[in-house]
């Protein structure tokens, strides 16, 4: 494979319509899995559509494999696979007809690999796509994405329509894909709990802006949930607060600088935070906290 450091890099990307983005910047280093997390409407799908060349931008630069994105470079597109949250293939097609289309588009398309995934996913290649369930349609997209030796997978909620058993099969296929060592995945989700054990990094987007982008362990080690009385919330530095959840007798406060808060308020109880916790506090309880 070609030498490059980042499979994806966005710098100062702005878009003002049909999904707004404001100065979005992050990177997906080669050989890593990056989660793109955020609530519905945060800008995740817009970001992926920009990467896929479906949406234009007004400012900034998108780099794929260290080169500025180009809609005129079919070789660049062949190095990337995109899995959307809804299937983009015509409903009258079947898996066999999809195979013929993809085989003509991608020089490294592998029929044997593709048919192996169809069998593994339990997909009838003669059945029309419109007669597939949503979960089956999602599996077909994944089968196509994994069958032409792409270096980068860009995936929008790839397990959202799957039962638990099917989700585990898809996740196992992604881990097998990553065993080659230099492949990369960018996957968007609003439910990171089932994916964070596989990922290396996480980028959170909120209202079209990047909140943070770093290694998962770094983000989780920085955040914590303070348990305190309602009257103790005012003792905390507002700049450290992500969001506050009030109940009748106490409060839970998500903080983004756990060590600082523990040093300044050692008497307060502190629980570790998960990515799901961070999303919940940012989206549901963050409006009342000054930033």
Mean pLDDT across the chain: 91
Sequential DSSP letters for the chain: ----SEEEEEEEEEE-SSS-EEEEEEEEETT-EEEEE--TTSSHHHHHHHHTTSS--SEEEEEETTEE--TT-HHHHHTEEEE-SS--S-TT-BHHHHHHHHHHH-TT--HHHHHHHHHHHT--TTSBGGGS-HHHHHHHHHHHHTSS--SEEEEESTTTT--HHHHHHHHHHHHHHHTTSS-EEEEEES-GGGTTTT-SEEEEEETTEEEEEEEHHHHHHH-EEEEE-GGGGGGS-GGGEEEEEE-SS-EEEEES-HHHHHHH-TTSEEEE--HHHHHHHHHHS-TTS--
**Nearest CA-CA partner of 103 in 132, 75, 78, 120:** 78
- Locate the domains of the chain by residue range: 6-214, 223-284
- pLDDT value of residue 75: 77
Q: For the structural domain made of 6-214, what CATH number should be given?
A: 3.40.50.300
pLDDT tens per residue across span 2-28? 689 999 999 999 999 878 999 999 999
- pLDDT value of residue 288: 42
Residue 290 has pLDDT above 70, yes or no: no
Q: What percent of the chain lies above the pLDDT cut of 70?
A: 97
pLDDT tens per residue across span 149-187? 999 999 998 888 788 899 999 999 999 999 988 899 999
Lowest mean pLDDT among 44-58, 81-95, 110-124: 81-95
């Amino acid at each position: 494979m070609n030498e490059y450091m980042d499979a994806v890099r966005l710098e100062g990307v702005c878009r003002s319509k049909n999904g707004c983005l404001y100065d979005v910047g992050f990177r997906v280093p080669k050989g890593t899995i990056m989660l793109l997390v955020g609530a519905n409407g945060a800008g995740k799908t817009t970001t992926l559509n920009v990467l896929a060349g479906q949406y234009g931008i007004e400012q900034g630069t998108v780099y794929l494999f260290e080169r500025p994105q180009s809609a005129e470079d079919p070789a660049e597109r062949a190095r990337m696979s995109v899995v959307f949250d809804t299937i983009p293939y015509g409903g009258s097609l079947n898996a066999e007809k999809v195979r013929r289309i993809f085989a003509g588009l991608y020089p490294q398309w592998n029929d044997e690999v593709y048919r192996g995934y169809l069998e593994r996913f339990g997909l009838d290649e003669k059945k029309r796509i419109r007669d597939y369930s949503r979960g089956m349609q999602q599996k077909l997209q994944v089968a196509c994405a994994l069958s032409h030796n792409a270096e980068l997978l860009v995936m929008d909620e790839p397990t959202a329509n799957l039962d638990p058993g099917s989700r585990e099969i898809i996740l196992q296929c992604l881990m097998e894909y990553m065993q080659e060592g230099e492949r990369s995945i960018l996957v968007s989700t609003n439910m990171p709990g089932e994916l964070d054990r596989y990922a290396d990094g996480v980028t959170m987007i909120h209202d079209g802006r990047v909140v943070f982008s770093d290694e998962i362990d770094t983000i989780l080690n920085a955040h914590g949930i303070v348990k305190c009385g309602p009257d103790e919330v005012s003792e905390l530095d507002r700049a450290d607060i992500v969001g506050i959840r009030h109940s009748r007798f106490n409060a839970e406060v998500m903080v983004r600088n756990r060590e600082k808060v523990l040093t300044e308020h050692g008497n307060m109880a502190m629980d570790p935070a998960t990515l799901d916790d961070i999303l919940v506090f940012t989206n549901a309880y963050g409006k009342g906290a000054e930033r």
